[in-house]
Structure 1
Amino acid sequence: MNAQQKNLVTLLIATVVAGGLGLYAYFGVMKPEEKEAERKEVEGKLFAVDAPGKGDTDAGTAPALRFTWVSVELPHSKTEMELQEGVWRVTSPVSALADKEQMDTLISELAAAKFKATLEENPTDADLERYGLKPPRATVTARAYVPDAQGGGKDDPARQRSVTFYLGVENPFDGTAYLRREGDPRVYLAGGALRFALQKSTSEWRDRQVFPLEESSLLRIEVKARKNAFTLERATTEKPWQLTQPVTLRAAPQRVARMVSELRFRRIITFPKPDEEEKARKGLEKPLVDATFVPKIGVPLRLRLAEAELLGAKQTFALTEWGSEVVLGVVDLGTLNDLDVPALDFKDKKVLALQAKDVRKFTIHPAAGGETITLMRAPDTQRWEVEAPMRGLAKEFKLASLLSSLEKLEAAAITEANPKNWARYGISDTSRGVSLMDDTGQLIARLWIGNPVKGNPQRVWARGSSEDVFELDKSALDALPMSLTDLLDGAPAAKSSP
């Protein structure tokens, strides 16, 4: 057989194979698609929303249903959820808050659900088995009511609606779901999003938030942990936080807000089974963290964290008790670190206790060999003037920038509180820095700048309004306009070093 004959045979074989594939594609794929295309299109909604009487619709638009109860039964679980005082709750097989996001999605899908097509008018048992409807993959019952013009009607039997329907398997043709409604023999097609929204176990319907309160609502936080213990308080939610235990001092509001925000971000990973719950509660008798949060309105919330070994692995458990709400779940190990922090972490790192508007005079103390710069706000014109080392008008925008920066200046860290020897940090009465005074000449605040931090030359030690050794970023200080050239309007430019 020559090369030309071989090519011809190869071509014939390829043609036969292509023809076979074409027949398979037609009878195996196209034919079912044609059958799907011949489905009877319908526009019926899963829930009938017709109003019970005249005057209950707005310009012919049917009022939106308000759902009050949903039951979702899967092969291995059944969950009942009820709207109570505006909040969805899981009522069976446990009593717990429902996940708001999951419930919003479910209610949205139920309200919008439509029959896309009718597949079978009178299906046989074999048809139902093929569609996954005998037995069904999910049985759902939902109750709702049609509100009147004032939004009422929940208890009016004429306004109540209840539907039970069954979901089958996913339709591989377009991702839709096979559906059958109670009292209706027909098999319908519904959107796949509805099936996706319903396929959840009881634990997936439950709210997984560990800590539901916001920092803005709290008045007191008390924490006892493995390594640390502290108490934060404030008189009202508008007042600043104070650290009251183990020492009394002003707390940094951003640090308190960050701690609470980190807690609110935490989610329960899993809920323990009954046999696991007993071990977890035993560990919680001696918690690693025991915290109490007192809100302005409502009852205190208690949060305990502990570790217990389950299935050969150590797990971290959180128990949240808030009034009648009790939630126990497995959480990330990092949740312990959110609360087990040193009390001094909450110390306000603001370096100078001052308000820029109160400053009427200030002196810039130079490094060794430099000239002291003194500035004062003129009482008649309220303009800033340079008094020394030469007289002249100051650059107003530079002064405003400097005072604003000093008012907001924060330390990168606190090295030591109440040191016995400031000199070891290079801080003394002759240290370079700034003195700020009011209109009577009374000292408002003083900044002393010391030596570079050992092991971190990008920072310097400093002293401000509190008895703490601060670490300041050197770059932040270098950016402050504190030279005569920066501040004196019309001052000669500084000569560059040779």
Structure 2
Amino acid sequence: MNHRSNLALFLLAVALAAYVFVADRRGGHTVTGRSGDAAMFPSFDVASLGAVELARSNSIIRVERTNNAWTLRLPVNYPAQSLSVDRLLEHVARMVPAGYVGVRDVAAQPDGLAAFGLAPPVATLTLVGRDQPTILRVGGNTPVAGRLYVQLVGTDGVFVVDAALLGLLPSSPDDWRDRGLIDLAGRTFDRVSLAAAGRTVFEAVKDPAGRWQLRQPLSARADGERLEALVGQLQQVRVSGFVSDAPIVDRASLGLQPPAFELGVGSGTNELARLEVGGSPTNAPQHRYVRRLAHTNVVLVDAQFLAALERPLQDFRDPRLVGPLDGITRIERTGTGGFAAALEGTNWWVTAPRRFPASAAMVRLFLDQIQSLEIEQFVNDVVADPKTYGLDRPAREFVLGHGTNTLVRVQLGGPASANGALLFARRTDESSVYAVPRTILINLESAGQLRDWSFAATNVAAVDIVQQGRLRRLVRSPSGWQAAAGASAGLVPDAIEETLHRLGRWESTRYAVTDEAAMTKAGRFGETAHEATLSLDGGLSVRVLRLRFGATLGANRLVLAYFDNDPTPLRLEMPEDLYGAVARDLAAP
């Protein structure tokens, strides 16, 4: 670097220093630099403050701390935005002066403190703690952008601080008001009511077991998830504006005479929140007036967030016919093909009309389906004649119990739709009649559909195969699988063992076959003309399993399964890749 460059840098530094000196002079006073000094309030304890007051020429805003939350006390009593208050206090606690105007320079000004915007001040901030209040008078902006004059009452000079302080001060009480529509934080509720145009839509209560029940206009199970979601959604709604704090308002002009909707939330006999929803301002039709009775004030809320209040009563009824039940150990089905099953230890057993192990997967499927079966229509809540719905002599009835105690009894009646897709149903502990969809549950016609037919490949002692009139018998010997009758060519013992293993683990949708001849024709079992009969040992409940293979159905192969001497075969569906293995290894060439 040469001498000419050094001289240029020196002149630039002098010019910058002169600019700062001139810029920080105001009417002949000098701002001395204190940037980097300690905080303005080194012993300031935000947590110890109990009140904050901001005074302007025409208003006073005061908040007080109660139970670790800030509440607006002046000019109205209202929950405050604690985050906004805390953000201001944290800024003040960390505030480091950027400069200082000494008392002599202040006194030398013809206008005194007015030269700094402090006579009168723009605002006066009072922080009330355990000791003497801290009072900070806020003045005008300095000539240097981004800085502000403030005076700490009790000192004679004037400090220069970051002008961000001014942006943290509320310009009106609404800036510090809590914008939540309702706040139930830390409080549980067990009562919700909704009225529309003065008429009760519903009143629901939660019983000690945690189940929601409708109490008005009828006694019925309520959709607890939807009720709690409704209240939860309203707790997320933010107020768009504050209209009035007067205890008496012109209700008719606000659409509150009567209110379009009125929502109440309570705990026991205690009212936690009550909202009255009115009309919309002519200049803001996307908003609605809402009166918060806890504070008697009227606010504006975006109408889209209140749409859930327009739902009809049916939307708040429990949509499930049964719903979740705990401790089910007994299942019964009455009517033709009726059966009973019970949980014995950790295993389910069919106990009537014959005793055999039940498939845990099928029992789970049945219980899942009956507990999740949804109501499509609430048909009638006052039934004069159950015969109208085929429920005087229900076609079938399901009973779920725990030991000898009945948890629920469900009856299914006649068709509730022209195409038979819906059936009338009711619970014997309720007066209402519902329409429910026909599902696999409705097709549970036989105890055999719950049967556990799983087996290990080693349980198979012999396989008798019939295919297009040809016979073949495979038997297990100490050396492996052998053909005792029929062709022996193409026999692969390991492949046979693997296919039997897959058959023993195969699960399928199951349908009871009441008309075997019709099913044989429809499923083209005669055309395929392929069947395999497995002889099982090893103490299994099934001794003989006969499988007849029919046509394809989508990606599956239709199968008729016969178990020992059970008179009702089952229609099953086998994945085509599994049937491919059966056709290869259990064939009669």
Q: TM-score range by the shorter chain?
A: 0.5 to 0.7
- Hey, what does 1:414 align to over in structure 2? 377
Output the CA distance in 2 between the equivalents of 1:172 and 1:470: 76
Q: Is residue 2:446 matched to residue 1:446? A: no
Cα deviations by residue, 1:315-343 (Å, 9 ceiling, x for unpaired) = 52222223xx3222122224654434322
Output the CA distance in 1 between the equivalents of 2:133 and 2:407: 75
- Hey, what does 1:384 align to over in structure 2? 348
Output the CA distance in 2 between the equivalents of 1:474 and 1:179: 76
SS at match of 1:83: strand
- Hey, what does 1:204 align to over in structure 2? 175
Q: Pick from 74, 87, 94 the counterpart of residue 113 of structure 1.
A: 94
1:353, 1:445 within 8 Å by CA — same for their partners in 2? no
- Hey, what does 1:98 align to over in structure 2? 80
Alignment of 1:415-430 (within 5 A): 415-418=378-381
- Hey, what does 1:141 align to over in structure 2? 126
SS at match of 2:227: helix
Output the CA distance in 1 between the equivalents of 2:335 and 2:361: 21
Alignment of 1:23-38 (within 5 A): none
The change in CA–CA distance for 1:312 and 1:321 in structure 2 (over 3 A counts) is: closer
Q: Is residue 2:388 matched to residue 1:394? A: no
Cα deviations by residue, 1:412-433 (Å, 9 ceiling, x for unpaired) = 7435335889999999978789
Q: Is residue 2:54 matched to residue 1:72? A: yes
- Hey, what does 1:154 align to over in structure 2? none
Output the CA distance in 1 between the equivalents of 2:142 and 2:397: 73
Q: Pick from 327, 350, 361 the counterpart of residue 297 of structure 2.
A: 327
Cα deviations by residue, 1:455-484 (Å, 9 ceiling, x for unpaired) = 9x9x86663535343455979999xxx994
The change in CA–CA distance for 1:214 and 1:81 in structure 2 (over 3 A counts) is: closer
- Provide the aligned C-alpha RMSD in A: 5.2
2:244, 2:297 within 8 Å by CA — same for their partners in 1? no
The CA deviation at 1:281 is: 6.7
- Hey, what does 2:260 align to over in structure 1? 288
Alignment of 1:279-318 (within 5 A): 279=250, 282-283=253-254, 284-296=256-268, 298=270, 301-307=273-279, 309=281, 316-318=288-290
1:290 corresponds to which letter in structure 2? E
Output the CA distance in 1 between the equivalents of 2:267 and 2:312: 23
Cα deviations by residue, 1:353-410 (Å, 9 ceiling, x for unpaired) = 67352332345999xxxxx58562365x55223468986433335534643x246415
The change in CA–CA distance for 1:453 and 1:211 in structure 2 (over 3 A counts) is: farther
- Hey, what does 2:516 align to over in structure 1? none
Long gaps (5+) in structure 1: 1-22, 51-62, 146-158, 367-371
Q: Pick from 342, 361, 368 the counterpart of residue 312 of structure 2.
A: 342
Cα deviations by residue, 1:476-498 (Å, 9 ceiling, x for unpaired) = 999xxx99488543376565742
Output the CA distance in 1 between the equivalents of 2:387 and 2:142: 77
Structure 2-normalised TM-score? 0.57
- Hey, what does 2:532 align to over in structure 1? none
Identity of aligned residues (%): 17
Say which one has the larger Rg. Answer: 2
The change in CA–CA distance for 1:126 and 1:439 in structure 2 (over 3 A counts) is: same
Alignment of 1:175-186 (within 5 A): 179-182=150-153, 183-186=155-158
1:119, 1:188 within 8 Å by CA — same for their partners in 2? yes
Q: Pick from 42, 49, 63 the counterpart of residue 43 of structure 2.
A: 49
1:341 corresponds to which letter in structure 2? R
2:324, 2:372 within 8 Å by CA — same for their partners in 1? no
1:68, 1:143 within 8 Å by CA — same for their partners in 2? yes
1:103 corresponds to which letter in structure 2? V
Q: Is residue 2:241 matched to residue 1:270? A: yes
Output the CA distance in 2 between the equivalents of 1:387 and 1:364: 14
Long gaps (5+) in structure 2: 1-10, 25-31, 456-502, 509-548, 553-589
Output the CA distance in 2 between the equivalents of 1:237 and 1:172: 66
1:165 corresponds to which letter in structure 2? R
- Hey, what does 1:232 align to over in structure 2? 203
Output the CA distance in 2 between the equivalents of 1:449 and 1:177: 81
1:394, 1:489 within 8 Å by CA — same for their partners in 2? no
1:358 corresponds to which letter in structure 2? I
Pairs aligned (count): 433
The change in CA–CA distance for 1:247 and 1:236 in structure 2 (over 3 A counts) is: closer
Output the CA distance in 2 between the equivalents of 1:34 and 1:396: 89
2:71 corresponds to which letter in structure 1? R
1:140 corresponds to which letter in structure 2? L
Output the CA distance in 1 between the equivalents of 2:369 and 2:79: 48
- Hey, what does 2:229 align to over in structure 1? 258
The CA deviation at 1:270 is: 1.1
The change in CA–CA distance for 1:314 and 1:339 in structure 2 (over 3 A counts) is: closer
Output the CA distance in 1 between the equivalents of 2:426 and 2:17: 79
- Hey, what does 2:136 align to over in structure 1? 164
Output the CA distance in 2 between the equivalents of 1:248 and 1:179: 66
Output the CA distance in 2 between the equivalents of 1:390 and 1:253: 41
